[in-house]
C-alpha cells in the first residue's frame, strides 16, 4: 500500500509537473551545450534560457532525466530559428531521446555530424524546415529511432535503403520533399505509419510496403503494380452437399465441421447454420425460434415442444438478419481470429449480409448450464455491449452469432499495421465505452454476472463509433485453461487460478490492463529487444518506479498536444484497477465515473508542459503545438 501511494505520488510529480528533477547534480555540460547552440543560431523569438536559472525546471522546451543529470528531450517548435545547426552544439546532448525542431527555418544538409552523436535518439521531428540535399546513406547511429518525420523540407536524391535497418521504426514521414528514384524495399516490421506523398518517386511500390494504403504514395509517379489480389472466393460447395434437401439430411454437425483449409485465411462453410429472420417477431420474449431436428427450422415458439434435445438454433429478439439455409450454404467464411476458446469467422452471405460466427471449442459445461447462460447473455441490450443474435447448440458444435464489426477489434485497431496509430480521442472513447459495457454486465443477474474475458480482442467499435464489449460470460462454460496459457494472456488477475472462476474484481483487473494497453500501445505480453516476454503490468510498474514515467506512453500519442494530464489520469485509474489484491481495486461503477471525468477534469485548454515552462518568463512564447495539429480538431474528432 505504501508502495502504491509512492507510485501515484511519483506519477503525479513526474507527469503533472513534468519538470520534476532533483536540485542537486543538475547537468552542467548539457546546459552549456544548449547555450552554445542558441548563441550560434539566429532566432527570432526570445527563449527564457537564462544562464542562472535551472535548465531542468524552467527552460522552455527542455526535459531532463528524472534525476536532472541529463537533458533527454528538446522541443523547440516554431521558435524562429534559421540557418544550419551549428557544429559541436546539439551533438553534445548525448543522452537526448526526443528532438523536435519543427516549423523553423533550419537549412543546410541533414545534420549528420551533430545527430550521429545522439545514439539514444528515439524520436526526431525536423518537419517543415528548409533542409536540403541528400539523406544520409548510413543510419547505423540511430538504430533506436522509432519516429522519423522529415516532411516538408527540400531533401532530394533517393530514399536510402539503410533506413531498412531502423528496426524499431514505427513512423516514417518523408512527405513533401523532392526525393526521387525508386522506393527501396524496407523490411520494417514495426512500421505502422508511412507517408511518402508529394515527392518525385518513381517505379513500383516494393513488396514490403504494399501493405500500406495507396495514399501513402500519392503525389509520386509510382506504379501500383502487383496490387493485392482480393482473397480468392471459394464457392462453398462441400463435397457431396448440394444446397438442397439433401443437405438437410446430412447431420448438422458433420457439415459444421467442414473447413476448407489451405489458403492464407482458410474458409469455412457453415453449412447447417440455419438462420431465419426474426425481426418479424418483435414483442416475443427473447427466445423465439428453434429448429426441429431433421427438419430445418420451425418458426414458432410453440414448435419447440416436439423437439428432441439435440440441435437447436435459438434467436434473440431484435435479430435483423434475413437469410436461410441456402444463403448460408453459399456463404464464404474467413477466419477473423483464433482465441483460447473459439475461432471466429466472418461469414459473408450473397445478399451482402455479414455476420460474425464464433465456433466454441472446449465447452465444458453441461448443455443445460450452457443454454441458461446463453439466455442471460442473449437478453442483454446496451449500446456498449455486442448483442448475441443467435446461438446454435448441438452435442458437438456450439456456435454464437454476433453482428460483424467492420472496423475490427480494439486489438487490431491498436496493434494492426493496416492503419495509423489510434488517436487519443478514440482511445479515450474506447476506455469509456468498455467501462460502461462491463459495468452493465456486472449489473445483470442480480448484480452477479461476470464478464470473465475482458481483453482488447473482445472489444469492438461499430460503424456508429459505439464501443461494444463482446464474449460475455463464456469463461465459466469452458474447460479450464492450463496455467501457462493463462499467464501468457496477460490480462488475468494474479489471484485467479482457475480460468472458469473469474470475478468482477478480476474483470476490473483485466480492464486495467486494457487501459495500460491503450496508454502504452503495447500488448499485454510483449517482447522487448531481447526475446524475453514482458508482462505489461510489471513493465509499467518498473518504469514508473524508476522514475522515467513518461516513457510509459505510446510514442504515437506524443504528437497530440495538451493530453498529458488526461494520460496521467488514465494511468492512475489503470494502476488502481491492476492493484494486486482484489479488495484494493475499485468497482466498475466507480471506474466508469473516473474515466468519464478524465475529459471534464481536463478541459481542452489544459496547458502542455511546454506552455508552462515557456510562460514562466517569456510573453512572446510561440505556439508549442506541432504544426498542423489544431487542438480543436483533434479534440472534436469522433471515434471512427
Ligand X SMILES: *[C@@H]1O[C@H](CO)[C@@H](O)[C@H](O)[C@H]1NC(C)=O
Q: Whose Cβ is closer to ligand X: residue 32's or residue 237's?
A: 32
Q: Give the SS3 label for residue 67.
A: coil
Q: CA-CA distances (angstroms) from residue 361 to 151, 336, 342, 343, 358? A: 49, 15, 5, 8, 10
Supply the minimum distance, in Å, between the C-beta of residue 616 and ligand X: 23
Supply the minimum distance, in Å, between the C-beta of residue 599 and ligand X: 22
Supply the minimum distance, in Å, between the C-beta of residue 356 and ligand X: 30
Which are the contacts of 448, defined by CB distance < 8 A and separation ≥ 6?
none
Q: Whose Cβ is closer to ligand X: residue 202's or residue 503's?
A: 202
Supply the minimum distance, in Å, between the C-beta of residue 70 and ligand X: 6
Q: Whose Cβ is closer to ligand X: residue 133's or residue 582's?
A: 133
Q: Whose Cβ is closer to ligand X: residue 160's or residue 286's?
A: 160
Cell numbers at residue 318, please? 431484435
Query: To 10 degrees, what angle do helices 504-520 and 536-545 make?
Result: 60
Q: Whose Cβ is closer to ligand X: residue 82's or residue 144's?
A: 144
Cell numbers at residue 432, please? 469509456
Which are the contacts of 428, defined by CB distance < 8 A and separation ≥ 6?
566, 570, 595, 598, 599
CA distance 577 to 581: 10
Helices (H), 490-628: 504-520, 536-545, 564-577, 588-601, 609-615
Classify residue 301 by its DSSP letter. G
Strand partners, 535: 525
How would DSSP label each residue in 422-465? Answer: PPHHHHHHHHHHHHHHHHHHHHHHHHT-------GGGEEE-TTS
Which are the contacts of 20, defined by CB distance < 8 A and separation ≥ 6?
13, 14, 66
Q: Whose Cβ is closer to ligand X: residue 117's or residue 594's?
A: 117
Supply the minimum distance, in Å, between the C-beta of residue 578 and ligand X: 24
Which are the contacts of 106, defined by CB distance < 8 A and separation ≥ 6?
81, 82, 83, 84, 85, 126, 129, 130, 131
Give the interface with ligand X as residue ranges (CB under 6 A).
36, 39-40, 70, 86, 88-89, 94-95, 102, 119-120, 127-128, 132-133, 143-144, 149, 151-152, 156-157, 171, 173, 175-176, 178, 180, 193, 195, 198, 200, 420, 559, 626-629
Q: Whose Cβ is closer to ligand X: residue 298's or residue 550's?
A: 550
Classify residue 21 by its DSSP letter. -
Supply the minimum distance, in Å, between the C-beta of residue 129 and ligand X: 10
Supply the minimum distance, in Å, between the C-beta of residue 149 and ligand X: 4
Supply the minimum distance, in Å, between the C-beta of residue 43 and ligand X: 12
Q: CA-CA distances (angstroms) from residue 207 to 188, 218, 265, 463, 519? A: 12, 17, 19, 31, 32
Determine the residue with CB nearest ligand X.
39
Q: Whose Cβ is closer to ligand X: residue 303's or residue 551's?
A: 551
Supply the minimum distance, in Å, between the C-beta of residue 540 and ligand X: 16
Q: Whose Cβ is closer to ligand X: residue 216's or residue 385's?
A: 216
CA distance 163 to 188: 9
Q: Whose Cβ is closer to ligand X: residue 558's or residue 592's?
A: 558
Q: By the 8 A CB rule, do 179 and 158 touch?
A: yes
Q: By the 8 A CB rule, do 128 and 105 touch?
A: no
CA distance 334 to 230: 12
Classify residue 401 by its DSSP letter. E
Cα within 13 Å of Cα(43), Cβ side: 22
Q: Whose Cβ is closer to ligand X: residue 127's or residue 444's?
A: 127
Supply the minimum distance, in Å, between the C-beta of residue 111 and ligand X: 13
Supply the minimum distance, in Å, between the C-beta of residue 133 and ligand X: 6
Q: Whose Cβ is closer to ligand X: residue 396's or residue 546's?
A: 546
CA distance 123 to 560: 14
CA distance 26 to 432: 41
Supply the minimum distance, in Å, between the C-beta of residue 393 and ligand X: 47
Amino acid at each position: 500500500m505504501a508502495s502504491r501511494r509512492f507510485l501515484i505520488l511519483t506519477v503525479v510529480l513526474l507527469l503533472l509537473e513534468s519538470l520534476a528533477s532533483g536540485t542537486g547534480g543538475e547537468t552542467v555540460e548539457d546546459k552549456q551545450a544548449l547555450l552554445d547552440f542558441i548563441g550560434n543560431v539566429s532566432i527570432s523569438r526570445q527563449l527564457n534560457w537564462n544562464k542562472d536559472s535551472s535548465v531542468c525546471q524552467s527552460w522552455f522546451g527542455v526535459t531532463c532525466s528524472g534525476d536532472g543529470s541529463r537533458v533527454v528531450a528538446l522541443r523547440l517548435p516554431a521558435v524562429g530559428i534559421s540557418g544550419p545547426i551549428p557544429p559541436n552544439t546539439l551533438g553534445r546532448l548525448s543522452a537526448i531521446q526526443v528532438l523536435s525542431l519543427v516549423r523553423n527555418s533550419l537549412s543546410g544538409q541533414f545534420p549528420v555530424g551533430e545527430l550521429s552523436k545522439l545514439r539514444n535518439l528515439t524520436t526526431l521531428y525536423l518537419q517543415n524546415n528548409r533542409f536540403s540535399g541528400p539523406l544520409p546513406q548510413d543510419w547505423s547511429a540511430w538504430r533506436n529511432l522509432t519516429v522519423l518525420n522529415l516532411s516538408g523540407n527540400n531533401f532530394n536524391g533517393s530514399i536510402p535503403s539503410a533506413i531498412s535497418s531502423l528496426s524499431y521504426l514505427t513512423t516514417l514521414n518523408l512527405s513533401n520533399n523532392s526525393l526521387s528514384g525508386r522506393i527501396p524495399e524496407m523490411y520494417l516490421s514495426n512500421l505502422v505509419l508511412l507517408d511518402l506523398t508529394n515527392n518525385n518517386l518513381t517505379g513500383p511500390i516494393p513488396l514490403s510496403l504494399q501493405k500500406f494504403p495507396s495514399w501513402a504514395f500519392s503525389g509520386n509517379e509510382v506504379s501500383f503494380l502487383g496490387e493485392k489480389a482480393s482473397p480468392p472466393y471459394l464457392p462453398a460447395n462441400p463435397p457431396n452437399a448440394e444446397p438442397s434437401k439433401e443437405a438437410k439430411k446430412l447431420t448438422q454437425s458433420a457439415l459444421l465441421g467442414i473447413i476448407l483449409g489451405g489458403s492464407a485465411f482458410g474458409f469455412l462453410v457453415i453449412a447447417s447454420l440455419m438462420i431465419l429472420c426474426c425481426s418479424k417477431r418483435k414483442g416475443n420474449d427473447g427466445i423465439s425460434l428453434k429448429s426441429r431436428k431433421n427438419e430445418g427450422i420451425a418458426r414458432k415458439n410453440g414448435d419447440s415442444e416436439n423437439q428432441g434435445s439435440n440441435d437447436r438454433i435459438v434467436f434473440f429478439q431484435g435479430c435483423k438478419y434475413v437469410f436461410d439455409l441456402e444463403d448460408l450454404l453459399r456463404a464464404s467464411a474467413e477466419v477473423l481470429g483464433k482465441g483460447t476458446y473459439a475461432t471466429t469467422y466472418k461469414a459473408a452471405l450473397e445478399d451482402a449480409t455479414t455476420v460474425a460466427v464464433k465456433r466454441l471449442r472446449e465447452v465444458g459445461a453441461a448443455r443445460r448450464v450452457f443454454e441458461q447462460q446463453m439466455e442471460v447473455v442473449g437478453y442483454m441490450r446496451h449500446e456498449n455491449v455486442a448483442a448475441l443474435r443467435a446461438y446454435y447448440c448441438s452435442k458437438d458444435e456450439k456456435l454464437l452469432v454476433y453482428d460483424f464489426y467492420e472496423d475490427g477489434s480494439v486489438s487490431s485497431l491498436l496493434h494492426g499495421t493496416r492503419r495509423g496509430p489510434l488517436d487519443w480521442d478514440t482511445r479515450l472513447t474506447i476506455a469509456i465505452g468498455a467501462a460502461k459495457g462491463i459495468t452493465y454486465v456486472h449489473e445483470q443477474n442480480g448484480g452477479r454476472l461476470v464478464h470473465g474475458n475482458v481483453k482488447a480482442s473482445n472489444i469492438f467499435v461499430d460503424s456508429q463509433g459505439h464501443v461494444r464489449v463482446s464474449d460475455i460470460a463464456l469463461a465459466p462454460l469452458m474447460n479450464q485453461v492450463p496455467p501457462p496459457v493463462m499467464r501468457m494472456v496477460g490480462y488475468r488477475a494474479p489471484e485467479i487460478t482457475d480460468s472458469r472462476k473469474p470475478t468482477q474484481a478480476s474483470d476490473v483487473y483485466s480492464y486495467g490492463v486494457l487501459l495500460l494497453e491503450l496508454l502504452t500501445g503495447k500488448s499485454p505480453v510483449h517482447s522487448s529487444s531481447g526475446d524475453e516476454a514482458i508482462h505489461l503490468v510489471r513493465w509499467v510498474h518498473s518504469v514508473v518506479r524508476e522514475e522515467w514515467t513518461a516513457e510509459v506512453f505510446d510514442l504515437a500519442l506524443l504528437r497530440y498536444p495538451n493530453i498529458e494530464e488526461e494520460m496521467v489520469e488514465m494511468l492512475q485509474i489503470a494502476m488502481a484497477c491492476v492493484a494486486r489484491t482484489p479488495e484494493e481495486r475499485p468497482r466498475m461503477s466507480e471506474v466508469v465515473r473516473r474515466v468519464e471525468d478524465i475529459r471534464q477534469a481536463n478541459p481542452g485548454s489544459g496547458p502542455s508542459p511546454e506552455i508552462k515552462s515557456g510562460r514562466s518568463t517569456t510573453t512572446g512564447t510561440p505556439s508549442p503545438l506541432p504544426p498542423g495539429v489544431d487542438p480543436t480538431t483533434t479534440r472534436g474528432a469522433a471515434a471512427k
